[in-house]
Amino acid sequence: MPIVQISRIQHRRGKKTDLPQLAAGELGWSIDEQKLYIGNGTVADGAPAVGNTEIMTAGTSAFTTALTHTYRGYLGDSTPIVTGATGDVARTVQKRLDDYVSVKDFGAVGDDSTADVVAIQRAIDELYSDTDQDDVRARRTLFFPAGTYKINASLTIPPYAHLVGEGPDKTIIKNSASAPALVTEDDDGNVYGGIGNAGATTPTQIQISNMTIRTTVAYGGISIDNATKVFVNNCKFHGTFVSGGTDASTSKGVSVRSTTALPCANIIFDQCQFTGFARLVDMSYDVTNVRFTNCDFNTAYYGAMLGETMDGSTNGLTVGPRDIQFSGSSWSTIGQQAIYVKASSTTTGTGTRNVISNANFYAKTVANNFEGTGTFSEVPVIQFDNDECSSVLDFFERTDLRRSDGSSNLNAAPEVQGIGISTKAIKQETLINNTSSATTINEFPALAGKSIVIKYKIARGTLDRSGEFVISASTTAAQHDDTFTESGADVGVTLTAVLDNKDSTAGNETVVLKYTMTDSSSTNATFDYQTTIIA
């Protein structure tokens, strides 16, 4: 290509106010504002407009704006808010982005293929355990974008850790280690057996939310060791146990470990799911104030095993779990007991106590040894083998009445058994006028050796009665006493209790509440009652 013209690059320099119209391609440097311009040329030469075009430099206002952030409010530039006392507060984009920390900033991938344990642990350590951990500004929330993060060793969780995902089955930590997926540690990186050494800060103020903890081997989800104030919200703990499996001591969704000097306390699980572990919850070590609220427990051999290895003398196993509550939760596909409080191996007055089940739903697939039909090998849904425990307003889908194996009627196992109290929700039955033969109102399974207190109200036309019917059942008889007050005339109702041995074998007889009623007022009656069983 022949050369037709060589032009010398021209340039000017001076103050911005003295900048003239530059010739096409001519440069002008504004000394006072540190900005560079180039002349457009004429429209006749093909320029879209006559004038000068600013070339982006470090001093360019557009460049500076691109590297700063000012919060504008929900209306944006149309009606911006003022963020400072005398004007807007501008921050660099770097500082703005540093408010938000992702595990991907440390090299985690989350593609269900890459080994992410080193990257995730580095993120956790840098935020919460390294030299600046005493500066609260370092304790940012660590975000896990949706993905599957493979780990092959336990992630150790230090004090003040705050881990947040995008939701169960969206953010998944997938563990293949022969150890729990998550384990608490102190701020020097010491785990159980060394936590708190040399004045290290013990695990506390830990928050984990919106993720799935998935184990691909028969090991645990989270081990809370020597920790206080642990809050877990909207998380799913998913193991490898399947319906019909057997117990396995290593397969625990949630477990705790304490020492006498550093017991665990103040642990809250809210809106969490626990599935696929031999034991969804296993706690024998000293721990107080544990709450499971609005949770779902399913597919396990045991639901919650409490106090099994507490012995009264081993370090950390001296008093066992105390003040443990399960409320507003659902339980299903659990072969043995949903809640099992083991008896203390030492003297009375020690061991697991103050365990409360409140307003839970226990499906019919709980405590039947995974047997759907046929011969039933039922156990209690809840078993309290230590005192100061109670079931309050729980709903047991497993029928209160007898089971059938196809050939004979069976005495159903009790809903709650052991040393405890069970208070049921109020029920209402209609008592039919002129019933001369004793007729069943309700049956209470396998209650020999227990007492039943029924508070009731009978309304029949303008007549009513309020009373308390007390049953004391043995293996041979059901003694009862009815204490009541009537407003006016006799309502004409007589309550009785008898034993009914459904399967013709000794033991576990069913207690039957019955009534007869005269036709004195020629009307039916309503029977509202609430039952409390002292196991």
For residues 29-34, average pLDDT: 88
Chain segment 112-149, per-residue pLDDT in tens = 999 999 999 999 999 998 655 678 888 889 999 999 99
User: Could you tell me the domains of the chain?
Assistant: 11-72+88-95 (no CATH), 427-534 (2.60.40)
pLDDT surpassing 80 at residue 475 = no
Chain segment 259-280, per-residue pLDDT in tens = 999 999 999 999 999 999 999 9
C-alpha closest to that of 139 among 206, 188, 201:
206
Least confident of 68-77, 329-338, 497-506: 497-506
CB of 221 closer than 8 Å to CB of 180:
yes
- The average confidence (pLDDT) of the chain is 88
CA 414 from centre of chain: 28
**Three-state SS for 500?**
strand
Query: 80 vs 77, 84, 90, CA distance in Å?
Result: 5, 12, 13
Least confident of 113-117, 282-286, 316-320, 497-501: 497-501
pLDDT surpassing 80 at residue 160 = yes
Query: 459 vs 122, 306, 428, 519, 521, CA distance in Å?
Result: 69, 44, 11, 14, 12
For residues 250-263, average pLDDT: 97
